[in-house]
């Protein structure tokens, strides 16, 4: 039987043709297609600047550097996310301060932010987990009250909105990823969105070894990085961006079908739908009841030719942060619960309604076959 993949990139033929065209041209790095992709992203996000880079992690790293976050500073990070969100804080010498999440949206619990703010707190990185917008009204209000910079980790959330505003455009800088599991992929790649022209110029220099060109002369302003996007990657991205809204609508419809099919299974919690948020479902994430063994459930799902996985990591549960900051499962209980009981199910244009019926059937059999025996 064919495996139902967790995710599968949908790259149109036009995108492949453009990438081949670039490869044949010999002009491979940061050329006209990167500029075109950046311009198209500016239009889509309604921002002044979009700076394409080599990955979503590079985008977050450059954002912190551009805002001069450094050793001795503290940065607020949700406890439930991919480790890269916190790793970049470590890389600039600052300290990530973890805040628990809500199980309703898997985003930072904004009611718990103020209690951990200190005089060293300089920024907050809200994560729009699984393509769901974080509660940005609260985050913006808190940031203004305490003079904090906002760097949005919108790696999974291109196209998501909070109260009709694109995520990634609320703070100083918004960071997106084009990893193969995202709605648009350039293999690897990312982008930083900002309305601040000064920050944009600094980031452009930092991504390219710190170079600045004035009157045709090259100088180096920073000890920068090679975080450039190639032109053939950008050529893959432009045609996909044109189809993004249709792809998002398709994911939303798939999620509705999942919700309908799984709603009768009392030990499965499906994603909550919010009236004032546009969720793009980069991941369709469910929770299984706490009395069940999630890992055994995952093994069973995979045995039945359904590719499934954890949704994200509880940073308080992984070795590096657990040991460095003396954290436990109880330090951030909701993040721990989302990590230990969460399951990401297949979603994307490769998933059919028939596939969803099959997945529901397999999930229903789990309790009969394994739990009630």
Tell me the C-alpha distance between 194 and 363, whole Å.
Answer: 43
Domains and CATH numbers, the chain: 13-242 (3.40.640.10), 244-371 (3.90.1150.10)
Q: What is the mean pLDDT of the chain?
A: 95
Q: Which residues neighbour 170 within 8 Å (Cβ) at sequence distance 6 or greater?
A: 136, 139, 140, 150, 152, 162
Tell me the C-alpha distance between 288 and 373, whole Å.
Answer: 18
State pLDDT tens for residues 269-299. 999 999 999 999 999 999 999 888 999 999 9
State pLDDT tens for residues 342-362. 999 999 999 999 999 999 999
* H runs (alpha helix) in the chain: 13-25, 32-45, 56-66, 84-91, 136-146, 197-206, 231-242, 244-262, 294-303, 319-324, 333-341, 353-366
Tell me whether strands 74-78 and 121-124 are parallel, antiparallel or unpaired: parallel
State pLDDT tens for residues 148-166. 999 999 999 999 999 999 9
Q: How many angstroms from the chain centroid is the CA of residue 335?
A: 16
State pLDDT tens for residues 78-93. 999 999 999 999 999 9
| pLDDT tier at 371, thresholds 50, 70, 90 | low
| pLDDT tier at 46, thresholds 50, 70, 90 | very high
- DSSP letters of 314-336? EGGGSHHHHHHTT--GGGSHHHH
State pLDDT tens for residues 179-199. 999 989 999 999 999 999 999
């Amino acid at each position: 039987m064919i495996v139902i993949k967790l995710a599968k990139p949908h790259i149109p033929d036009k995108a492949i043709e453009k990438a081949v065209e670039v490869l044949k041209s010999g002009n491979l790095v940061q050329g006209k297609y990167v500029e075109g992709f950046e311009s198209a992203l500016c239009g889509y996000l309604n921002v002044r600047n979009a700076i394409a880079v080599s990955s979503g992690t590079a985008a977050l790293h450059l954002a912190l550097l551009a805002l001069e976050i450094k050793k001795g500073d503290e940065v607020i990070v949700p406890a439930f996310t991919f480790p890269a969100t916190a790793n970049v804080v470590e890389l600039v010498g600052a300290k990530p301060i973890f805040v628990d999440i809500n199980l309703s949206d898997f985003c930072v619990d904004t009611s718990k932010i103020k209690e951990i703010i200190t005089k060293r707190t300089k920024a907050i990185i809200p994560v729009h987990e699984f393509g769901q917008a974080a509660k940005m009204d609260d985050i913006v209000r808190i940031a203004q009250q305490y003079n904090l910079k906002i760097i949005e980790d919108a790696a999974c959330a291109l196209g998501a909105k909070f109260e009709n505003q694109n995520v990634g455009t609320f703070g100083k800088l918004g960071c997106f990823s084009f990893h193969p599991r995202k709605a648009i992929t350039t293999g690897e790649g990312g982008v930083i969105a900002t309305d601040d022209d000064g920050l944009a110029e600094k980031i452009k220099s930092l991504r390219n070894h710190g170079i600045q060109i004035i009157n045709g002369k090259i100088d180096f302003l920073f000890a920068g990085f090679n975080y450039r996007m190639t032109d053939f990657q950008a050529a893959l991205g432009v045609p996909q961006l044109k189809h993004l809204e249709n792809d998002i609508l398709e994911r939303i419809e798939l999620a509705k079908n999942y919700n309908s099919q799984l709603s009768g299974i009392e030990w499965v919690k499906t994603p909550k739908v919010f009236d004032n948020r546009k969720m793009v479902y980069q991941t369709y994430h469910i929770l299984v009841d706490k009395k069940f063994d999630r890992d055994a459930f995952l093994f069973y799902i995979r045995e039945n030719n359904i590719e499934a996985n954890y949704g994200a990591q509880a940073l308080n549960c992984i070795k590096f942060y657990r040991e460095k900051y003396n954290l436990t499962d109880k330090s951030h209980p909701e993040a721990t619960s989302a990590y230990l009981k969460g399951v990401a199910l297949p979603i994307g244009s490769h998933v059919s309604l028939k596939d969803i019926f099959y997945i529901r059937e397999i999930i229903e059999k789990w309790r009969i076959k394994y739990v009630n025996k």
